[in-house]
Amino acid sequence: MPGDPEEDEINWFRPVWKTEDQNDLDPVSRRRSQRPLAEPDFDHPLLIPLARAQDAVARLQAKTEAASEVVTEGLRARMSYLEASGWLRYAHIRIHPWDLALSDHRLTWGTFTGAALGRIRQAKMLPSTVAQEGELVLASSAVEALQLQFAIGQALRLARLWRRLGELRTWRPLADADAIGETLESLLKRRVSNDAIADWLSRFYLRDQGPDLLRAGRAAKNWECQAGVKERDPDGVFLGACLWHEKNRSAPIALPFWSAPEERHIRLGRKVGVPWMVEFLDCIAAAAATGMRELKRLQEAEDKGKTMGATARSRLPKAVDAVLRAHIVTTASLARAVDVTPQAALVLLRQLTAAGIVREATGRASSRAYALV
C-alpha cells in the first residue's frame, strides 16, 4: 500500500542495481517490484546507526576469521557466556560470566533452593559475582529461588544455542515451522503456538526484505508482538540472530547483542518504532565492540604463551591452547586436554598463573577452576 512506512523503508534500502525476474515473483512481490524506487534519504534516522552496526559486525567477523582456530573457538565460548550474562542483567539478575561457566560445568556448590541466601553461601555458589557486586540477596523466598534457578538454566541454554550458531554451518533453526518450534522449545523449555510460528514465518521472515541487521531487528520485535512474549524473554532477539545467520552462515561467530553495556538495553526497552530500531542497532555495534576486546585479549594471551620458552617436550603450548579454547578450566579438564596426570596439570596451571595468563576463579582451596586473566 503506497505510503506504508514499512514499505517505504524496504524500498529505500533496496539496492538500485538489484533486479528480479518478474516471472519468478508472486503477485504481491511483482506489484511491489514494479513501483518506482524511492530516492535515498540521507537524513534517514537509521542510516548512521545501520552503517555503524554493519561496520562493527564486519570488523569483528573479519578479525575472527583471520585469528587462529584456538582463538576463534575461545572467542565463541567466552562471548556465549557474555551474551547469557547480558540477558540476565536485562532481566534484573546480575551473574558474572565466569559463574555461569562454573554452573554450566557443575563446579558450583549447592543449589538455589533456599531463601535469603547468605553471603558465605553466595560466595561458594557465585564467587565472581559476589566479588564484583558485593553482598547480594538473590532470593527472599523458596519461590524466588526456584525462579532464579530457572532463569540461570535459560541463560545457559541461550549460551549453548548462541555458540551453536557460530560453530555449525549446516544448522538451519528457521528452516520451517517445525524447526523453529524445536529451537524455541530448546531455549524456553515449553511449547510455542504453532499458529504463532506459522504466521511469523510467512509474514515477517519469508516476505521481509532489506539489510540483514534491519531484518533481524524487525523479526525480533515482530515476534515479541506476534507471540505475546514477555518483554525480558530472550527468544525474540535469538530468532533475529538466527535470521541473520541464514544469510551469513559462513560467519565464525553468531550475531552479538546482549553483551552490549546494560544501559543500552535499558534504553532499548523504553522505545518503539524507528527509535527502537536505532537502539537495537546501537546494541549490536556495542556488543561487537565487546567481542573485539575479547578477541584482542585472547590474542595477547596466545602471544604471551608463545614467549614462555617451552621446550620440545614441554606441554605448555598445549596447556595454553586448552586455556584459550575453554572459558573455565580445572586441573582435571586440563589433564584430559593435554594428556598428563592431574598433578602435572596443576604444575602447568601454576606456571600459567605465574605468567599472568590465567587466574583462579573460585576463591576456594579445593575444587578450583581457572579463567583467562
Nine cell digits for residue 129: 559475582
Mean pLDDT of 336-359: 92
In the chain, where the domains are located: 47-297, 311-372
% of the chain surpassing 70 pLDDT: 74
| pLDDT computed for residue 34 by the predictor | 56
| pLDDT computed for residue 294 by the predictor | 96
Least confident of 106-115, 219-228, 251-260: 106-115
Reference 324, options 60, 90, 77, 155; nearest CA is 77
Least confident of 25-29, 227-231, 318-322, 328-332: 25-29
**The pLDDT of residue 340 is above 70:** yes
Alpha-carbon gap, residue 71 to 76, rounded angstroms: 9
Taking only the tens place, the pLDDT of each residue in 87-110 is 998 888 888 898 888 888 877 655
Q: Is 362 exposed, middle or buried (0-12, 13-18, 19+ CB in 10 A)?
A: buried
CA dihedral 225, 237, 161, 323 (to 10 degrees): -160
| pLDDT computed for residue 113 by the predictor | 46
Report which of residues 88 and 231 the model is more confident about: 88
| pLDDT computed for residue 373 by the predictor | 85
Taking only the tens place, the pLDDT of each residue in 272-329 is 888 999 999 999 999 999 999 999 999 999 998 888 866 546 788 899 999 999 988 9
| pLDDT computed for residue 344 by the predictor | 92
For the chain, give the number of residues.
Answer: 373
Mean pLDDT of 13-31: 47
Answer yes or no: pTM beyond 0.75.
yes
User: H-type helices in the chain, by residue range?
Assistant: 5-13, 27-34, 47-66, 69-90, 97-104, 119-125, 127-133, 142-167, 177-188, 194-200, 212-227, 235-247, 262-268, 273-306, 316-325, 331-338, 342-354
Taking only the tens place, the pLDDT of each residue in 111-134 is 554 444 444 455 556 767 666 655
Least confident of 80-84, 103-107, 206-210, 321-325: 206-210
- Cβ neighbours, 10 Å, residue 77: 20
CATH number among 3.30.200.20, 1.10.10.10, 3.40.1000.10, 3.40.50.10070, domain 311-372: 1.10.10.10
**The pLDDT of residue 8 is above 60:** no
Rounded to 5°, angle at Cα 100 from 133 and 358:
80
Distances (CA, A) of 136 to 81, 102, 163, 202, 352: 21, 18, 29, 45, 32
